[in-house]
Amino acid sequence: MCDISNMIAVITGDIINSRTEPAGQWLPVLKNTLEQYGENPVNWEITRGDSFQLLLSPKMAFYAALQVKAEIKQLRDLDVRMAIGIGEQDHKAEKVSESNGLAFVRSGECFENLKKQNLGIITGDPQKDEVLNLLFNLALLTMNNWSSTVAGTISVFLQNPEKSQTQLAKQLNKSQSSLSEALKRGGFDEIMQLEAFYRNQIHNL
């Protein structure tokens, strides 16, 4: 068992169908989301136009991936491909793209191996990887089909985990029943159960 406190997570991703929409539509959305997890360029960078890397704590990686997905899915015809790598960091540079270590290697390897699946993980524990990737695949059956409305609702709940449905309904000037229905269509409760399961698995690496 590894000491998780000495490990980091690296998310390598890119925007699917980015060329079909002006960068001015999705780039600010992506930047605003990544900024919630640290400073540019030491914690995150956008490279090659529509690719990005994000360095963060292992326990937050799946939650961050959910947030990025919920933000990008609000834009018509766009989606995001992401690979999570967990491991040590040998060198922390001023730019994420110049840092290195096992987490970066695993994230890059995972990204290269993504085919039809657009979310994957390599933790260094093959058994955990098999279980988590299977569960990600099942979750993607729902997540890949989020409408912009559902994605927007889920995004608000991810950004405000401390607030109740009643408070958010008031904030958004929507009925609680409409929010509840959008969350149900998006499989939000089940996805948050997966998020909790993910944290437990990562804690026990």
Peptide bond into 41 cis (omega under 30): yes
**The tokens 């015809």 sit on which residue?**
77
Q: How far apart are the first and last CA of the chain?
A: 6
Coil, helix or strand at residue 5: helix
Name the band, by pLDDT with cuts 50, 70 and 90, for residue 131. Answer: very high
Rounded distance, CA 82 to CA 154, Å?
A: 18
Phi-psi region of 39 (alpha: psi -120 to 50; beta: other; left: phi over 0): beta
Q: How many domains does the chain have?
A: 1
What pLDDT does 3 receive?
64
**Residue 100 carries which DSSP code?**
B
What pLDDT does 151 receive?
97
What pLDDT does 24 receive?
94
What pLDDT does 73 receive?
98
Lowest mean per-residue pLDDT among 2-6, 11-15, 57-61, 180-184:
2-6
Kindly tell me if the per-residue pLDDT of 4 is higher than 80. Answer: no
pTM: 0.96
Kindly tell me if the per-residue pLDDT of 52 is higher than 60. Answer: yes
What pLDDT does 92 receive?
84
Kindly tell me if the per-residue pLDDT of 1 is higher than 60. Answer: no
CA distances from residue 50 to 3, 16, 45, 78, 119 in whole angstroms, order as listed = 34, 9, 10, 12, 16
Which residues span the domain enclosing 181? Answer: 4-203
Rounded distance, CA 137 to CA 178, Å?
A: 27
CA distances from residue 6 to 89, 169, 176, 204 in whole angstroms, order as listed = 8, 40, 42, 13
Residue-wise pLDDT for 137-185, tens only, equals 999 999 999 999 999 999 999 999 999 999 999 988 999 999 999 999 9
Residue-wise pLDDT for 63-120, tens only, equals 999 999 999 999 999 999 999 999 998 888 899 999 999 999 999 999 999 988 999 9
Report the run of H or E that residue 54 belongs to, with start and end: strand 51-56
* Residue 45, domain CATH: 3.30.70.270
Kindly tell me if the per-residue pLDDT of 122 is higher than 90. Answer: yes
Q: What are phi and psi of 19, to 5 degrees?
A: -75, -10
What pLDDT does 67 receive?
98
Q: What are phi and psi of 13, to 5 degrees?
A: -150, 170
What pLDDT does 204 receive?
85
Segment 13-42 shows an average pLDDT of: 96
Name the band, by pLDDT with cuts 50, 70 and 90, for residue 39. Answer: very high
